[in-house]
Structure 1
C-alpha cells in the first residue's frame, strides 16, 4: 500500500542504511521496523547491524543521541 509519512531525519538515514545493507527497499525496512516495534518481537541485534563503515552500533539504551543532546552535554561539562 502506498502512503506518505514524515520521518525525522535521523530515522530516515538509519532506515536507508539498513535498506542499503540488506539490499531491499526502504518501504520493506520501515514496515518491518514498525511491525517489530508494535509487537515487541525481533529487535535487531547489534551484530546484525554493521554499517558501511564496518562499525557495529551499541545496543539501544532508550535514548536517541542527537547533536542537540551532545551540545547540552558539552555545555554541562564546560567543553
Structure 2
C-alpha cells in the first residue's frame, strides 16, 4: 500500500542503510521495523521465533509481551469483541 509519512532525517538514513545492506526496499525495512515495534520486538528479522525459544524479557513498562500468534490485534477487532461481549 502506498502512503506518505514524515520521518526524522536520522531514522530515514538508518533505514535506507539497512535496506541497502539487506538488498530490499525501504518500504519492506520500514514495515518490518514498525511490525517489530508494535509486537514488542517479538518478530525477529528471520521470522517469528517459536514461543519455547523466545526469551521472556520485560519491556520498559515492566510487562513481558505475549508470544506472537501470527496476527496483529487492531482497535477494530477489540471493538468487535467488546460489542460481542456487551461491554
**TM-score using structure 1 length:** 0.53
Cα 1:18/1:3, change in 2 over 3 Å: same
Q: From the two aligned structures, give the one with the greater helix fraction.
A: 1
Within a 5 Å distance, the mapping from 1:29-40 to structure 2 comes to: 29-40=29-40
CA shift, 1:3, in A, is 0.1
Deviation per residue, 1:32-61 (Å, 9 max, x gap): 0000000011466xxxxxxxxxxxxxxxxx
What's 2:2 paired with?
Answer: 2
**TM-score using structure 2 length:** 0.48
Distance 1:38 1:28 in 2: 15
Greater relative contact order structure (CA < 8 Å, 6+ sep)? 1
Q: From the two aligned structures, give the one with the greater strand fraction.
A: 2
RMSD between superposed Cα atoms in Å: 1.8
| Equivalent residue pairs, number | 45
Q: Looking at CA atoms only, which structure, 1 or 2, has the larger radius of gyration?
A: 2
